[in-house]
């Protein structure tokens, strides 16, 4: 699989480049950065970092993108025009940007996941199953912590876990979520799915889903110690996309969940 990387000079981009080099059946053929990046022209695993996406994906079968929403949407349109598949790990997209990704997926296969970690995706399946087994007397709270540099909150992974819990209860997350609490909020409504966001230090990612009732609390939790787990999942997803028809896929498809 011939892979190009968007955000090649960033921490995640560098991790992806190393993972590609270590993965049999994959090769790096393109590296993309923004036009103001100091890394332009530098070597990235045997290819030069460029700012033109057309050049970066000229020889690629798939583009892996962990950048920012506006850039990801622009990349998706061009990748779809060129018939290049995408693996997207970007979070924090607004409804209009999300619709643009869905539109691009009509023309090229796109695998989009809030978290590429295999463990997180198994956690999502467990959360959905648990929520389906426990009635609304069990309050659902999702607590997440990330490093100080993260720009969106709650994290995309926390929201994905919320969607899994809501799916288990057969409700829409947007109708029951509480993203933050401040001041005199009153008693907690039954059926609410709450979020708590922590930021600090260099924490890679911690997510805990709590099911709390009178007399007991069940917790399902995952902690990432390295971004390597995201890179491993992303490259695995890229390999899985080979030969797939246009459409929007997720890590559940990769793992057969």
Residue 257: is its pLDDT beyond 90?
no
Residue-wise pLDDT for 4-24, tens only, equals: 999 999 989 999 999 999 999
The whole-number pLDDT of residue 74 equals 97
Residue-wise pLDDT for 166-184, tens only, equals: 999 999 999 999 999 999 9
What span, in angstroms and rounded, lies between the C-alpha atoms of 250 and 181? Answer: 31
Residue 115: is its pLDDT beyond 90?
no
The whole-number pLDDT of residue 216 equals 97
Instruction: Please name the residues in contact with 63: beta carbons below 8 A apart, sequence gap of 6 or more.
Output: 3, 4, 5, 6, 30, 32, 56, 57, 75, 79, 84, 85, 86, 87
Question: What is the layout of strands, in order, in the sheet containing 247-249?
Answer: 43-44, 47-50, 27-32, 2-6, 62-65, 85-88, 109-112, 247-249
Nearest to 211 by CA among 144, 130, 155: 130
Residues marked active site are found at: 146, 150
- Residue intervals of the chain classified under CATH 3.40.50.720 are 2-112+227-255
The whole-number pLDDT of residue 96 equals 97
Nearest to 68 by CA among 58, 80, 76: 76
- Residue intervals of the chain classified under CATH 3.30.360.10 are 118-224
What span, in angstroms and rounded, lies between the C-alpha atoms of 34 and 53? Answer: 10
The whole-number pLDDT of residue 239 equals 97
142: which 2 tokens?
A: 């999702």
What span, in angstroms and rounded, lies between the C-alpha atoms of 237 and 251? Answer: 7
Strand partners, 198: 145
225: which 2 tokens?
A: 């110690």
The whole-number pLDDT of residue 114 equals 83
* Protein fold of 2-112+227-255: Rossmann fold (3.40.50)
Mean pLDDT of the chain: 95
The whole-number pLDDT of residue 79 equals 98
The whole-number pLDDT of residue 201 equals 96
Residue-wise pLDDT for 12-71, tens only, equals: 999 999 999 999 999 999 999 999 999 999 999 999 999 999 999 999 999 999 999 999
Residue 226: is its pLDDT beyond 90?
no
Residue 107: is its pLDDT beyond 90?
yes
The whole-number pLDDT of residue 92 equals 86
Query: CATH number of 118-224: 3.40.50.300, 3.40.50.1220, 3.40.50.970, 3.30.360.10?
Result: 3.30.360.10
Residue 91: is its pLDDT beyond 90?
no
Q: What does pTM read for this prediction? A: 0.81
Instruction: Please give, one letter per residue, the 3-state secondary structure of the chain.
Output: CEEEEECCCCHHHHHHHHHHHHCCCCEEEEEECCCCCCCCCCEECCEEEECCHHHHCCCCCEEEECCCHHHHHHHHHHHHHHCCEEEECCCCCCHHHHHHHHHHCCCCEEEECCCCCHHHHHHHHHHHHHHHHCCCCCEEEEEEEECCCCCCCCCHHHHHHHHHHHHHHCCCHHHHEECCCCCCCCCCCCCCEEEEEEECCCCCEEEEEEEEECCEEEEEEEEECCCHHHHHHHHHHHHHCCCCCCEEECHHHHHCC
């Amino acid at each position: 699989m011939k892979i190009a990387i968007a955000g090649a000079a960033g921490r995640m981009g560098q991790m992806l480049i190393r993972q590609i080099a270590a993965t049999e059946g994959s090769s790096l053929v393109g590296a993309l950065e923004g036009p103001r990046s100091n890394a332009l022209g530098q070597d990235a695993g045997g290819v030069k970092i460029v700012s033109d996406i057309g050049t970066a994906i000229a020889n690629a079968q798939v583009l892996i993108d962990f950048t920012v929403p506006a850039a990801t949407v622009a990349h998706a349109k061009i990748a779809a025009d060129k018939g290049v598949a995408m693996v997207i790990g970007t979070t924090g997209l607004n409804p209009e940007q999300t619709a643009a990704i869905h539109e691009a997926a009509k023309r090229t296969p796109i695998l989009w996941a809030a978290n590429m970690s295999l463990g997180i995706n198994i956690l999502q399946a467990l959360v959905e199953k648990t929520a389906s087994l426990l009635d609304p007397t069990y309050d659902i709270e999702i607590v997440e912590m990330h490093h100080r540099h993260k720009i969106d909150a709650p994290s995309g992974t926390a929201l994905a876990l919320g969607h899994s819990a809501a799916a288990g209860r057969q409700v829409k997350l947007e109708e029951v979520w509480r993203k933050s609490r401040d001041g005199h909020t009153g008693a907690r409504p039954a059926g609410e799915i709450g979020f708590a966001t922590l930021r600090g230090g260099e924490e890679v990612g911690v997510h805990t889903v709590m099911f709390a009732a009178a007399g007991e609390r069940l917790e399902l939790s995952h902690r990432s110690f390295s971004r390597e787990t995201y890179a491993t999942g992303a490259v695995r997803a890229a390999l899985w996309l080979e030969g797939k028809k246009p459409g929007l896929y997720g890590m559940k498809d990769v793992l057969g969940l």
